[in-house]
Structure 1
Amino acid sequence: MSVKHAISRGLELGRSVLQLGLLKSGGRVAAKLRADRFRVGPSVRTVQPQAFLPSRYRYYRTSLRGLAAQLQSAGFRRGFTGGSPRNRAVFLAFGLGVGLIEQQLEDDRKTAATCEEIQAVFRKKKFQSPLKSLSSGYKLEDYIIGNQVGKGSNAAVYEAAAKFVPPKQTDSKSSLVELREDEEEVQKPRSLTCCSLKKFPLAIKMLWNIGAGSSSEAILKSMSQELVPAGPLALKQEKEHITLNGDFGVLPRRVSAHPNVIRVHRAFTADVPLLPGAQEEYPDVLPARLNPFGLGNNRTLFLVMKNYPCTLRQYLDVTSPSCRQGSLMMLQLLEGVDHLCRQGVAHRDLKSDNVLLEFDSDGCPRLVITDFGCCLAQSDSCLQLPYNTTWVYKGGNSSLMAPEVITALPGHGVVIDYSKADAWAVGAIAYEIFGDHNPFYRAVGLDSRSYQEKQLPPLPSTVPADVQLVIRLLLRRKPSQRPSARVAANMLHVSLWGGKALASQDSAGMKKLADWLLCQSAVVLLKGCRGPSGNRVEAELQQSFLSNLDLEDLRTALGFLLYGREQQHACILSA
C-alpha cells in the first residue's frame, strides 16, 4: 500500500467517519435518553474486538472503534471551542491513522482466518493412544505381574502383561487390554530397561492405602486425583456413578488423550497382594495380614498403563541428548503442560522423576507426564486455589514450586494462581535436559522463595540462543512477566521450524507468517504420522502446534523472539 494511497484513503475514511459522527450524535443522545427511560434490567456492554497493532504499540492496544471515539471526542471539543490549525491537524491525523490501521487490521484478519481454518483441520485429528482399551481387565487376576520398575512416596509400579486368552470370533469382543497390532517396535538402550517390553507391555501402579478405608467407594474418593488421566472406559461401568469427591468435595476433571500425557487404561480396587520386593521396599504400608506391623488397609487402588522403558531422570543419568533432541524434549513438556492447563489441570509435582520416556522409530525420545497424585483438577477451580489456611495443600516437591506458590501466605481472600506454575517447573527441568544440574535442587543452592533472576547459572554454550531465551523467560519470578506454556511452546516451534525470517510483525512479516503456517500444514498433512525427516515425535509436535493455533499467542511468541534476538545482537555489537 503506497503512502499516497494511504493518505487519500485515510482522508476519505476520516471524513466519512466525521460526517457519521456529526449526523448520528443527536440520534445517539436521543437513543440513550430513551434507553435510560425505559430500561428494565442492567445495561449490557458488548466487548469490542481488540486491534492487532505492532508489538511496539502493545501498551496502547485498543479497539479501532474506541480509538475513533476518543479522537472524535477530542476533535469535537476543540471544534466547538473554535476552529484552528490544530483542529485540522487532529482530523488529518485521525484520517491517516484510520487508513493505516485499517490496512494492518485487514492483514491481521486474513492471518487470523488462516489460523482458524488450520486449527479446525487439525483439531479433527484426535490422538489415538498406543494401547487399545477393550471391554475387560478390571481385576488384578487378569494380569501377570512381574518385577518392580519404580517406587515413589505413595505407590509402587510393576511390569505386567494381560493373561493369554484364546482368539475369539470376529463378532465377539476381546476381554483384555492388548497392544495394538500395528504398534511400532520401541527402540531403546538396553541399559535403560529393567524388563522386556515385549513380554510385559503394561505397567500396574499400586497406590498405598493408609487411612482411606477398605471400601471401593472410599478408596476412589480418596485417590480420585490419580484418575485425572484415565480414559473413558478406565472404570467399570457400575463404578462410574460414584461421586469422586477428591479433596474439596467436587468432581475432578478428566483430561483427554495427548501424546505427552500418560493414559490410564484401567482403574480398579483389589486386595493388596504380596508382590516382589514388598517386604524389603515398603513393609510399613502393607496390611496387617501381610506384615503384623504394617499400617496399610487390605484394599487399594490399581492403575493399568503402558509400560515405559525409563524415567527422564534415569535417561539423563546415562545419556546426553543432542541440542535438537533436548529442544524437542523441552517442547514436549511444554505441550503436555499446555494441554493440562487448557483443561483446567495443574500438575503441581512436575520433576524429571515424574516424566516417563520411550523412543520412536528414529530413536527420538518421546516424553509423557505422569503421577497426578498432587494435581489440582477440581471442576470449578480454573487453576486458582483459595489459600485461607496453612492446612490447604499447595502441591509436592517444594524445590520446584514456582515463586508465586512457595511464597504465598494464607489469609482471607488469598488465592494461588497455578496457571503458569508448571511452565516455571519446565524451565528448571530444562537445565537437566541440557546436561546441567537443576539450579533449584539443594546441591546447587538456589531457593525459589528468594532467588534473583541474575543468579541463574548460565546454560552450556551449545544450547541455541532461542532456547536459552525461553528458559530464562520461564524462570522469571513474576507470573505476569512469564510466558504461558502455550507461548513458550510457540517460541520453540518457530525457532525449530520457522527460521529467523518470521521474527517480524509488520505487514510483510504477517504475510510470511501465513505462508509458513500453510506450508507447515501441507507438509504435516502429506507426511501423515511422520514429520519432515520421518520422525514421529516431530510430527506429533507439529500437529499439536497447528491444532492450538491462536494468532495473539503466536504474535506474543514472535515478539519475545524478536526482543531476544535484538538483545543478543546488541550484546554482540557492544562486545
Structure 2
Amino acid sequence: MSVKHAIYRGLELGRSVLQLGLKSGGRFAAKLRAERFRVGPSVRTAQPQAFLPSRYRYYRTSLKGLAAQLQSAAFRRRFTGGSPRNRAVCLAFGLGVGLIEQQLEDDRKTAATCEEIQAVFRKKRFHGPLKPFTSGYKLEDYRIGKQIGKGSNAAVYEAAAQFAPSTESDTEKKCSQVQLREDKEEVETARSLTCCSLKSFPMAIKMMWNFGAGSSSENILKSMSQELVPAHPLALKREKEQITLDGQFGILPKRVSAHPNVIRVYRAFTADVPLLPGAQEEYPDVLPARLYPAGLGNNRTLFLVMKNYPYTLRQYLEESTPGRRQGSLMMLQLLEGVDHLCRQGVAHRDLKSDNVLLEFDSDGCPRLVISDFGCCLAQRDSSLQLPFNTIWVSRGGNSSLMAPEVATAVPGCSVVIDYSKADAWAVGAISYEIFGQHNPFYRAVGLESRRYQEKQLPPLPSSVPADVQLVIRLLLRRNPSKRPSARVAANMLHLSLWGRNALANQDSTGMKKVADWLLCQSAMVLLKGCGGPSGTSVEAELQRSFLSNLDLEDLRTAVGFLLYGHQRQACIVSARSSVTQVLKMDTLGDLD
C-alpha cells in the first residue's frame, strides 16, 4: 500500500470513528477520561448537533487533545520502530481528528456569529402600522362605512375614529400613486377609489356573529378568545384582562408579538349588535330577533378593530400576476409570518388566499399579512400538538388546504395531530396562486391532500426561479419529517435572493463563507435602517426578520437543501446535453 493511500484511509477512518461512532466508542471514551488526554480546562460551549450527536459530547471537548496525542504517538513510533504502513495510518488518523476539530472550531465561531447577529436584531422591535391610541373601547367611538368583507363567522366594515391619529403615511401616499400595469381602465379607477377610501377609513371593524355564546361579555370573550391571539397588549380594557379566557381547547391562548406579516388587533370589545349597511340583505339569519324577527343571533357580540387593507391576496391575484422577484418576496413573507406564529406556539390552521391581506410598501412591493385567527390552535405549552381522541375535536378550517398529516388523522386513544409544519404545507399550495397557476388542491377535479402523490403535482411556469420551485416541492412533501419547517424554507429563499455568492463553491458542512456573508448582510441592513423610508420596505423587513431568527442548524439545513437542488439541476442539464449530443450524432450518421 502506498503512503498516499494509507494517509487517505487514515483520514477516512478518523472521520468514520468520530462521526458515526463505532462499537469501540466506549473504550475510546474511557481513554479520553484519563488526565493525560486533557488539554486545559473543559469549557461549556454550544455545539452544532448535526455534526456530532449529543451522546458524543465528551469528544467535542477533547478532540484537540486526542488529535495531539495521536500525532505525537505517530512521531514517537517513527523513531521507536513499527512498520511504515502502521505509522502512516496512525499519523493520518491523528490528522483526521485534527481536521474534525478544526471544523468544529469553525462551527463554534459561526454559531457565535449567528447568536451575536440575532441579539442585535432582536432588540429592534417591530412597531405596528397604526400609532398607539388610548381610546376606542366603545362602538360609538367609530364612524362605520361600507362593508368590505364577509366570511363564515364575521362581517368586516371600514371604519374611522375622531381620536385616532392620521395614518396617511408615506406607504399609503405611495399606495395612491402606485398603479399596477393593467390594460383595463376600470381596474385602475377602482384601485384609485380604494386608496381614497383608505384615507377616509384607515381602520376596519370585524363584527363576529354570535350564535351560542350568550350576551355576557365574559362568555363572549371566552368563546371567541382565539380571535384575540394577534391582539395588542392594550386591546382589552384593564378590567377585561382579569377574565380567564379559556379558549376552545380549555387553555389560555397566547398573544403573539407584533410582526410585519401578521395582522394586529388594536381594540377588542363587546357591544350590542347594530343594524349595519347591508345586514338585512346579506346576513339576516345571524342578526338578533330585535333587528330581524327570524334572526338567531344574540344581542351582543365581539368587535375587533384593525388596520384597513385594500385587498385580500385572492383579490389582488385575480387582477395581477406578480413578477418572479415579487412572487418570491410574497411567498417569503408568508413563510416568515408562519414561522413567527410557530415560534410562539400558534398554528393558524385556516391559511388561504382569502385570509391574507395585502397593501403596498413605499417601493410598490406587495406587503402581506396573515389574518383571521378564528380557527387557530394556540396552546400554553407551545407544542402545536392536539390530542385527537374523538371525531368532535376540530382539525381546523378549510379542508382543501389541510396538510396530509392532518387530513389523514384517525381519532383514537393517544392519537395526536402535529401542526408544526401544517401551515408551511399550506404556503406551498398557495404559492401556485402567487405564480399565476390554479391552486392544485382547489379545482373541482384537483388533488386531495388526503391521497395525492407528489409526482402528481402540476409543473410550475418556467419563469419561476429554480430555487423557488425546489422550495415549493419540498413544502408539499406528504411526509412531514421530510418537509422543511417554515424557518428552513424561508432561509432557503433568503439565501437564493440575497446570498447566491455565499453558496458558490460551498459545501454543506463548512459555513465560513456563509458566516462572512451574514456579517456583510447585517452591516448593510443596519445602514439601510438608518436611512429613513428604505428601512420600512418589504425587503428591509424581511432581511431584519431573517437576521433576528438566525440559527446555525436551520441555516445549515437550508444550505444543504439548496446545494442538493443545484447538484440535481446540474445533473439534469448534463443529462439533457448528453442526449442532445447523441441525437446530433445520430442525425449526422443519417446524413452520411
**TM range, smaller chain:** 0.7 to 0.9
Q: Answer yes or no: is 1:262 the counterpart of 2:249.
A: no
Contact residue 226 and residue 373 of structure 1 kept, 8 A: yes
Q: Answer yes or no: is 1:155 the counterpart of 2:154.
A: yes
Q: Answer yes or no: is 1:131 the counterpart of 2:130.
A: yes
- The Cα of 1:529 is off from its aligned counterpart by 6.5
Amino acid at match of 2:544: Q
Q: 1:65 aligns with which of 58, 69, 74?
A: 58
Residue matched to 1:36 = none
Contact residue 106 and residue 510 of structure 2 kept, 8 A: no
Residue matched to 1:120 = 119
CA distance in 2, matches of 1:495, 1:51: 25
Change (3 A) 1:121 1:248: same
Change (3 A) 1:574 1:62: farther
Contact residue 503 and residue 561 of structure 1 kept, 8 A: no
TM-score, structure 1 as length reference: 0.84
Contact residue 508 and residue 556 of structure 2 kept, 8 A: no
Contact residue 50 and residue 63 of structure 1 kept, 8 A: no
Amino acid at match of 1:413: S
Contact residue 154 and residue 208 of structure 2 kept, 8 A: yes
Residue matched to 1:510 = 511
- The Cα of 1:294 is off from its aligned counterpart by 0.4
Q: 1:177 aligns with which of 161, 164, 178?
A: 164
CA distance in 2, matches of 1:382, 1:19: 38
Residue matched to 2:468 = 467
Q: Deviations over 1:201-224 (max 9, x none)?
A: 000000000010000000000000
Change (3 A) 1:150 1:571: same
CA distance in 2, matches of 1:524, 1:152: 39
Amino acid at match of 1:392: V
Contact residue 29 and residue 58 of structure 2 kept, 8 A: no
Q: Deviations over 1:378-406 (max 9, x none)?
A: 21351000000000000000000000000
Amino acid at match of 1:543: R
Q: Comparing both structures, which one devotes a greater share of its residues to helix?
A: 2
Amino acid at match of 1:318: E
Residue matched to 1:172 = none
Residue matched to 1:335 = 336
Change (3 A) 1:50 1:495: closer
SS in 2 for 1:554: helix
Matches within 5 A, 1:49-448: 49-50=47-48, 53=51, 63=56, 65-66=58-59, 92=91, 94-163=93-162, 176-180=163-167, 184=171, 185-187=173-175, 189=179, 190=188, 191-192=190-191, 194=194, 196-448=197-449
SS in 2 for 1:493: helix
- The Cα of 1:247 is off from its aligned counterpart by 1.2
Q: Deviations over 1:458-495 (max 9, x none)?
A: 00000000000000000000000000000000000000
CA distance in 2, matches of 1:159, 1:344: 31
- The Cα of 1:560 is off from its aligned counterpart by 0.3
Unaligned runs of 5+ in 2: 1-6, 19-26, 38-43, 71-81, 180-187, 577-592
CA distance in 2, matches of 1:201, 1:242: 30
Residue matched to 1:37 = none
Change (3 A) 1:358 1:422: same
- The Cα of 1:499 is off from its aligned counterpart by 1.2
Q: Percent identity?
A: 75
- The Cα of 1:106 is off from its aligned counterpart by 1.1
CA distance in 1, matches of 2:126, 2:501: 31
Contact residue 50 and residue 61 of structure 1 kept, 8 A: no
- The Cα of 1:250 is off from its aligned counterpart by 1.2
Contact residue 158 and residue 204 of structure 1 kept, 8 A: yes
Residue matched to 1:40 = none
Residue matched to 1:35 = none
Amino acid at match of 2:97: V
CA distance in 2, matches of 1:110, 1:337: 29
Contact residue 338 and residue 486 of structure 1 kept, 8 A: yes
Contact residue 350 and residue 400 of structure 1 kept, 8 A: yes
CA distance in 2, matches of 1:252, 1:19: 50
TM-score, structure 2 as length reference: 0.82
CA distance in 2, matches of 1:313, 1:541: 22
SS in 2 for 1:159: strand
CA distance in 1, matches of 2:141, 2:449: 46
- The Cα of 1:66 is off from its aligned counterpart by 4.7
Residue matched to 1:34 = none
Residue matched to 1:564 = 565
Matches within 5 A, 1:2-17: none
CA distance in 2, matches of 1:63, 1:252: 39
Amino acid at match of 2:156: V
Change (3 A) 1:92 1:139: same
Amino acid at match of 1:439: P
CA distance in 1, matches of 2:288, 2:149: 20
CA distance in 2, matches of 1:513, 1:343: 27
- The Cα of 1:361 is off from its aligned counterpart by 1.3
Contact residue 531 and residue 538 of structure 1 kept, 8 A: no
Residue matched to 1:38 = none
Residue matched to 2:520 = 519
- Structure 1 vs Structure 2 CA RMSD: 3.3
- The Cα of 1:178 is off from its aligned counterpart by 2.8
- The Cα of 1:179 is off from its aligned counterpart by 3.8
CA distance in 1, matches of 2:536, 2:461: 26
Q: Answer yes or no: is 1:537 the counterpart of 2:538.
A: yes
Change (3 A) 1:142 1:102: same
Unaligned runs of 5+ in 1: 29-45, 76-82, 164-175
Contact residue 321 and residue 433 of structure 1 kept, 8 A: yes
SS in 2 for 1:321: coil
CA distance in 2, matches of 1:257, 1:228: 11
CA distance in 2, matches of 1:386, 1:94: 50
SS in 1 for 2:242: coil
- The Cα of 1:502 is off from its aligned counterpart by 1.6
- The Cα of 1:177 is off from its aligned counterpart by 3.4
Contact residue 502 and residue 509 of structure 1 kept, 8 A: no
Change (3 A) 1:283 1:85: farther
SS in 2 for 1:289: coil
CA distance in 1, matches of 2:245, 2:105: 49
Change (3 A) 1:560 1:241: same
